[in-house]
Structures are given as C-alpha cells and as structure tokens.
C-alpha cells in the first residue's frame, strides 16, 4: 500500500496498520483463508470475530512461511513450541559475525569487566508448548500445525475453546464475544495478569474497530468492526501473578509494565569499576534527543539476567515477544550503556526487544503494539519527533571513531518492519512532496520486498525468503552493477555484500535521503559519499517523495569531514577534564553532494567516569560553542560541523 496524503480523502481510513471498517458495509467474504477462519470457528464453537481478533494480535494473519517467531510461535495463531525458541536462539549469531563493540562507547573509561554470556534460559512456562496442546485437541501432526495455515488456525480455535470451557464460560460460535475475554487473555501466553489483560484489550479493540489486509501469502482477510463491551473481570479467574507497578514507573497505563532494576554498584577497588549505567538528571541536565530500538539476541529470561549483572551493560526497557510485557530497568533521567556510542547514549533512551536479527524469525504484533505505545509515550514526554532521524535502530547509530565503525551492532536488522511500526506510532510514512522536491523516503512493501540475503545460519548460504524493510543500493542503475562500498566495513574498498549483517549498501524504510538521480525504474540517493541506485518502479514503488532541509558543503570547501559524535571544542573543557577528541570518520562529504537533515545539536559531552562522581567535572554536561547537524549519511546517521555546511530547502537543489 502506498502512503500519500490523498489517502485522507479515501473511503476508508488507514490508521495504525488497520483498515477501519464500518459495520454493515462489508462486501461478500472472500474465499480462501477467510473461509478457513469461519470453518474453524464453527467447528470448535468460537465466535469468528474472536478467532480473527486473536490471530490478528498474534501475527496480523500472516503465515510467515512456517518459520517461528522470536518467542517460538508458529503460524497465524502463533502456536508456541519451546524447540522453536531454542532454534531461533541457536541461529541468532551467524558464522563470520564478530562485531561486538563497547555498548558504553566512551574510550575515556572502557568497561572494566565483561561477564561470560550465560546459557540461554528457558522462556516462561506459560509461553511453552501450546502447539502440543493443539495437537492433542485436534489430532493434527505438530509438523502440520507449524507449517499449514489452515491446520494452525484449527489448532488455535481448539485452544481458545478449551480455555473457555475451563473457565466455565459460554461456548459456541454464536455466543457473545464479550464473554470470551478470559479465554483470550489466557491465549496470550502471558505469565502476569497485567500482560494477559493488555493483550485481550488489544484483541477486543481490533474486534471493535475491524481490520482488513492481504496476508504475506496473498490471502485477503477482513474482520468487520462491531461494538463490544468485553467482560474484563474474567481475567481475574486465571490466577496469574500481579506485577509491582511502583510510583515513578515510566510506562503508559495501557501497557503491562514492571520495575526490574539494573544495579548501580561498584564492584572493584578502582573508582571506575562500577556498573551498569550512569546517574544523571535528564532532561534537566541534557535533552533526550533519541529513542534507540534494539533486539536482545537472547530469550526473555537471559535478557533479564544480563541487565541485572552489575559488571555488564544496561538499557532502559526490555520488551517480551510473546505478549508485549515491558520491564523498565533504568530511569530515563539516567544514562544506560546500550548504543555503543557515548554521545548517543547520553542523549537517548534504549529499548531492547526480545528477538534475533539474523535468523528470519518474526516479531509478534503484540510486541510491535506494546513497543509503539511506549515510544509514543516517551516521545510525547520528551518532545522527540516521531521520525527515523530520532527513532533510531541500533544499526543506525554511528561509530564513535573510524576504528569503531566495523564493531558497531546492526540490530534490529533488515527484518524489523519499520513501516508497520510507524503506522502504529501514528506517524505513517506518507509522502510530503513530489519527484521535484529533492528528498526520497525509503518505503518498500514489506511482504513482497525480499532481498536475497545470505548467512542467516551459515556464511554464504542463502537465507530463507523473508519480508524486509531494506532496499539494496548499487553503483549504477542495474541489478548487475556492484553494490556500494562502505569503507568502514570494507576498508580495502571492496563492494558490500548480501551477508545479513553487512549493511554497507542498504537503506531502510523511513530513512530519508537526498535525491541524486533518476533513470528509468531506478532512483539514486547520496549515500556515504556516493550515488546509490535502487529499484523504484512507478508500478511498484519502494520509496516516496519528501521535502525538507538538506546539508550542502559551503562553496569554499571541496570536502568536509563527518563525525560519529557531536562533542564540543577543546576550549569548552574545564581544567582537570581530559579533552575528548573530535575525530572524523573514514568517510568524506564532497562538494556537490547533499544529505537530508535530522536534528541540529549543541556540541556536548556528559562527563561520568567514577561511581561517586568524584572525578573532576563528573556528572556535568560540558558544552561549548560548536553546533552539529545530524544527517542521514548511510544506513547510519552521522554529524557534520554546522560551520561546514549550508542548510537549504530541498526544492530546486537537485
């Protein structure tokens, strides 16, 4: 679906990834998958709207080609299997990927210790073998429940019916959907009352509003909206634990959230031997500019173990895949160690999502929705714009110096659905310009855009086909042309590759670049000092047009440096505080090139090197006169000195 402002006048309104449907206006139900849902609902005595609503919250009705989700769930009904979780974990670190980096990203005090990674722990018992239970209830083989959508939907319907019967609640396809709230809450797999209730609330919101879409395997499915007042008290009968939600917990009230604190502890004899975050007083001390999206590369249990280790690193929030449960670990006023770039850490909030970037597993709709609610809450609280210049992936955070670029992490990777995520954020990737306005926003159709990545399991071996937010950039307008070169990843000047972690020739949905050329079905953008060409045919566009500011080198400069952090000039540092080097990256920005502008930032350095704040200048923000401009330079953002560039409206610059 292409997003343009003209959609506001269309007969239906697309919002948050849903097509809202007015009750009573539906056409005849399409054949195929729709009939499978109707048949399964009738067979097991489940209201069809409940079955469709649950499936939408689990998978958006997608089959995902029989691959497991990040929490080991299969098919449109997300039937879970512990073996699927372990398989995803085992596949999460492809052969040949050695990038580790320092999540603190401040060479003035490298981490004093790094613990051995624990064995990946098992997921919560409530989220385990629903696939086996579905097999027992239906007589279907587990393999069919994993890979055949129709069998999977029957299994999900059977589970819902069994949960309803266990509650002693009314059953039957004609029963009142409102009486199924408890069964829906149990279906979530949540081990907390709050998470189960939040999941069921989202299901019943979908039943109320309706939805319609074409699935990843080409099946048209719709749920006609209808008024419903669910019997929410049923969830109390599930006997799930209730989480603590202390005063000061920084989460919206519409999500399940608990406090699982990361330790601020000294663990060695030296003042710098402490972890696993730094104290501050943001935003009073320093403005929060960014929210950084990560994935965990570990199960939920392992993630919580790691963040509670004082010798390890930290992030502000973790989000669980199976049900969207959120755990906050670090207050947003404090600085967590998560992004591999101290400047970005000091100006950001970090969110870790349970999942694996490389193996092609998929993120549940429950996770996307919970995350989007949290990000909207944080963005509103701190005045953070909802765009890709401020909502960063970890794979968008720049290296601090030329030496650290290759070690930067690349999560959440090309399989994170940025377009859908921004729909849920209420900031869809609409076009704001035309082909003459000078900026291009990447926006491929996620399901049909399936780049031929390799190395998801074994280096050099093709990954299974999978929808992706990424487009591939070539040196010329031809699929046979070499990929662009990223000198940070390939210092010998070799072209980038299609290895899953090699993002040197990729642009991702929502990222905005300056237009560099058009030829036939191909569009070029300025990227890492080069023209990068990607396929963008009018019949199936992979980008939209934008208007905005671009940064252009001043007329007297043949080239200008680009930086990975926005630090102040040497004269700004007080006595006793070591000056942090303003070190350019290995790239250059030449005259005639232009790059889309994000934030305009003061040069700042947050000094935090000792546990008690006793080192000179500790717990202060050092700021001088230097100002930086954030640009979308490649897959990652970068910074240029404001005095090196002119900022112009993109119209007429091309």
Give the distance from CA 329 to its chain's centroid.
19
CA distance 371 to 369: 5
Q: Which two tokens stand for residue 81?
A: 């299997």
Residue 653 has a pLDDT of: 59
Region 5-81+129-238: CATH code: 1.10.530
Residue 102 has a pLDDT of: 63
Q: Under DSSP, is residue 212 helix (H, G, I), strand (E, B) or coil?
A: strand
User: What residue ranges do the domains of the chain occupy?
Assistant: 5-81+129-238
Residue 90 has a pLDDT of: 46
Q: Which two tokens stand for residue 622?
A: 């050092």
HEC secondary structure over 26-74:
CCCCCCCHHHHHHHHHHHHCCCHHHHHHHHHHHHCCCCHHHCCECCCEE
H or E element, residue 183 = helix 181-187
Residues 6+ apart with CB under 8 A from 336: 262, 277, 313, 314, 315, 316, 329, 330, 345, 349, 350
User: From the first residue on, what is the mean pLDDT of each consecutive set of 10 residues in the chain (654 residues)?
Assistant: 34 34 40 92 98 97 92 94 61 38 70 50 56 97 97 98 96 96 96 95 97 95 96 94 89 95 93 93 98 93 94 95 95 97 98 88 93 98 98 97 95 96 98 96 96 93 94 98 98 97 97 98 98 97 98 97 98 96 95 97 96 94 98 98 98 70
β-pair partners for 550: 596, 648
Alpha helices (H) along 351-501: 365-382, 418-424
Residue 78 has a pLDDT of: 96
Residue 117 has a pLDDT of: 45
Residue 280 has a pLDDT of: 98
């Amino acid at each position: 679906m292409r997003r343009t402002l003209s959609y506001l006048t269309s007969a239906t309104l697309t919002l948050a990834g849903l097509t809202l449907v007015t009750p009573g206006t539906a056409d005849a139900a399409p054949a195929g998958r729709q009939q499978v849902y109707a048949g399964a609902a009738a067979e097991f005595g489940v209201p069809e709207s409940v079955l469709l609503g649950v499936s939408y919250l689990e998978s958006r009705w997608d089959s995902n080609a029989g691959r497991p989700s990040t929490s080991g769930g299969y098919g449109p009904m997300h039937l879970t299997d512990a073996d699927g979780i372990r398989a995803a974990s085992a596949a999460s670190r492809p052969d040949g990927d050695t990038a580790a980096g320092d999540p603190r990203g401040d060479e003035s005090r490298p981490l004093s210790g790094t613990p051995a990674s624990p064995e990946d722990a098992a997921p919560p018992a409530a989220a385990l073998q629903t696939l086996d239970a579905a097999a027992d209830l239906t007589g279907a083989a587990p393999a069919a429940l994993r890979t055949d959508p129709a069998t999977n939907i029957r299994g999900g319907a059977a589970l819902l019916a069994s949960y309803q019967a266990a509650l002693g609640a009314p059953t039957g396809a004609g029963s009142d959907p409102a009486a199924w709230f408890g069964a829906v809450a149990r279906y979530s797999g949540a081990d907390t009352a709050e998470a189960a209730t939040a999941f069921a609330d989202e299901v019943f919101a979908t039943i109320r509003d309706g939805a319609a879409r074409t699935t990843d395997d080409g099946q048209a499915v719709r749920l006609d909206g209808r008024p419903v007042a669910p019997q929410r008290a049923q969830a109390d009968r599930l006997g799930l634990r209730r989480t603590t939600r202390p005063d000061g917990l920084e989460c919206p009230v519409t999500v399940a959230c608990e406090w699982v604190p990361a330790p601020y502890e000294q663990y060695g004899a030296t003042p710098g031997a402490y972890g696993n975050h730094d104290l501050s007083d943001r935003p009073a001390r320093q403005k929060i500019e960014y929210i950084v999206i990560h994935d965990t590369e570990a199960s939920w249990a392992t993630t919580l173990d790691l963040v509670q280790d004082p010798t390890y690193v930290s992030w502000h929030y973790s989000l669980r895949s199976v049900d969207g449960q959120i755990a906050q670990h670090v207050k947003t006023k404090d600085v967590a160690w998560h992004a591999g770039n101290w400047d970005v850490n000091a100006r950001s909030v970090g969110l870790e999502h349970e999942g694996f970037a490389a193996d092609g597993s998929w993120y549940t709709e429950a996770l996307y929705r919970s995350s989007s609610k949290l990000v909207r809450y944080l963005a509103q609280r701190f005045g953070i714009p909802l765009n890709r210049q401020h909502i960063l992936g970890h794979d968008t955070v720049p290296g601090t110096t030329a030496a650290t670029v290759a070690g930067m992490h690349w999560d959440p990777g090309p399989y994170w659905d940025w377009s859908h995520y921004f729909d849920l954020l209420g900031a869809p990737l609409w076009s704001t310009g035309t082909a003459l306005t000078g900026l291009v926003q990447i926006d491929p159709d996620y399901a049909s855009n399936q780049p031929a990545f390799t190395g998801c399991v074994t280096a050099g071996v093709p990954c299974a086909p999978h929808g992706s937010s990424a487009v591939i950039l070539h040196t010329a307008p031809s699929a046979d042309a070499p990929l662009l070169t990223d000198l940070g990843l390939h210092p010998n000047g070799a072209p980038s590759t299609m290895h899953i972690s090699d993002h040197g020739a990729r642009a991702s949905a929502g990222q905005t670049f300056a237009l560099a050329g058009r030829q036939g079905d191909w569009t070029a953008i300025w990227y890492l000092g080069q023209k990068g060409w990607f396929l963008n045919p009018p019949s199936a566009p992979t980008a939209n047009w934008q208007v905005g500011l671009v940064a252009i080198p001043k007329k007297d400069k043949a080239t200008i440096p680009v930086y990975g952090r926005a630090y102040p000039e040497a004269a700004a540092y007080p006595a006793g505080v070591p000056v942090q080097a303003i070190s350019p990256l290995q790239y250059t920005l030449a005259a005639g090139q232009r790059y889309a502008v994000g934030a305009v930032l003061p040069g700042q350095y947050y000094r935090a090197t000792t546990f008690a704040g006793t080192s000179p200048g500790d717990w202060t923000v050092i700021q001088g006169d230097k100002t930086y401009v954030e640009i979308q330079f490649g897959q990652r953002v970068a910074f240029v000195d404001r005095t090196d560039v002119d900022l112009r409206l993109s119209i007429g610059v091309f």
